[in-house]
Chains A and B, each alone.
Chain A
Amino acid sequence: KNEVEQSPQNLTAQEGEFITINCSYSVGISALHWLQQHPGGGIVSLFMLSSGKKKHGRLIATINIQEKHSSLHITASHPRDSAVYICAVRWGTSGSRLTFGEGTQLTVNP
Chain B
Amino acid sequence: ETGVTQTPRHLVMGMTNKKSLKCEQHLGHNAMYWYKQSAKKPLELMFVYNFKEQTENNSVPSRFSPECPNSSHLFLHLHTLQPEDSALYLCASSPGTSSYEQYFGPGTRLTVT
Contact = CB atoms under 8 A, between A and B. Distances in A.
Give the size category of A's interface with B. Answer: 20 to 34
A41 B90 contact: yes
Contacts of B92: 43
A100 B107 CA distance: 17
Interface string B91-113: 01010011111111111010000
Contacts of A99: 42
Contacts of A96: 31, 33, 48, 50, 55-56, 94, 97-98
Interface of A: 2, 4, 30-31, 33, 35, 40-45, 48, 50, 86, 88, 90, 95-103
List the 3 closest pairs (A to B, CB-CB), nearest first. A96-B97, A41-B107, A43-B104
Interface of B: 2, 31, 33, 37, 40-45, 48, 50, 55-56, 58, 88, 90, 92, 94, 97-107, 109
